[in-house]
Amino acid sequence: MIIPHRFPDRLKYLEANGIYNVQMVYFKRDEIGMKCLNRWREQCLEWCYNRLEEGRLGDQKYLDIWPQAYKNVCVLKNEQAGVALWNVEKYKIELKNGRIFIDDVLLVFYHFHMFKFYAGNIYGTGISDYGLNYKTLKIIYEVYVEQLIKVVSRFDLKLRNLNILEMCNMIEKKNFYSYSFFNKFFWNVFLYGFVVLKKILKIGRNSLLKVYPET
């Protein structure tokens, strides 16, 4: 079983990187299933890089030919499974009685592509890379982050701290979020000031170079 990306029209060009996504791939333990799995393993060991080259990209573009190359390949049609940044704009998202619904049907699973969780309950989503608005996805992410916080607390996990430059980079990309409103407010005020100062210094430097060009 394989799951298509289901790109909206504006992102159809991304199919060049793979029609299907390897977020979840299911193999039946029979002759055809094992033949497919073993061949895929060989291909990934031979070549698996994050670049498009000779009809390959990572581990996912190998899947493009599976429906033609192997019998009984199931392409999942349940659109509530495999919802992700690259297709979520196609759907209506609602929270009902503590559960998430996609187009009025219960969400099976969401693929948290590019999600990163740091100390201080700070997280990055990658949403801006796909031209999306966080407000439309807040329902999904805040439910997930709430559960992550419980896991981190229960097992006393140590998360990586972000440095100032990393935070500035996240804010410039509009990819900075915090589960705590006050934490988010403080860092946004502080870091936006830092970003503005950085831009002022850059403008000043460029102005000086025009007056006193480097030799």
pLDDT digits (tens, 9 = 90+) for 113-129: 999 988 888 888 989 89
Q: How far is CA 196 from CA 99, 183, 191, 209, in A?
A: 40, 20, 8, 20
Average pLDDT (134-141) is: 90
Checking if the pLDDT of 172 tops 80, the result is no
What are the residues whose beta carbons fall under 8 Å from the beta carbon of 171, sequence distance 6 or more? 188, 191, 192, 195
- The percent of residues above 70 in pLDDT, for the chain, comes to 80
- In angstroms, the CA 187 to CA 160 distance is 17
Average pLDDT over every residue of 174-187: 63
Extents of the domains making up the chain: 3-69
Give the pLDDT of residue 52: 96
Report residue 208's pLDDT band, with 50, 70 and 90 as the boundaries: low
Q: Which ranges of the chain does DSSP label H, i.e. alpha helix?
A: 31-46, 66-69, 134-154, 164-172, 181-211
Between residues 121 and 184, the one the model is more confident about: 121
Residue 205's pLDDT band (boundaries 50, 70, 90)? low
Please state whether beta strands 81-83 and 109-110 pair in parallel, antiparallel, or not at all (unpaired). Answer: parallel
Distance CA 208, CA 10 (A): 42
Mean pLDDT along residues 60-75? 97
pTM: predicted TM-score of the whole model, two decimal places? 0.80
Give the confidence band of 186 by pLDDT, cuts at 50, 70, 90: low
What pLDDT, on a 0 to 100 scale, did the predictor assign at position 211?
60
pLDDT at 170: 73
Phi/psi at 13 (5° precision):
-60, -20
Token pair 């502080």 is found at 190
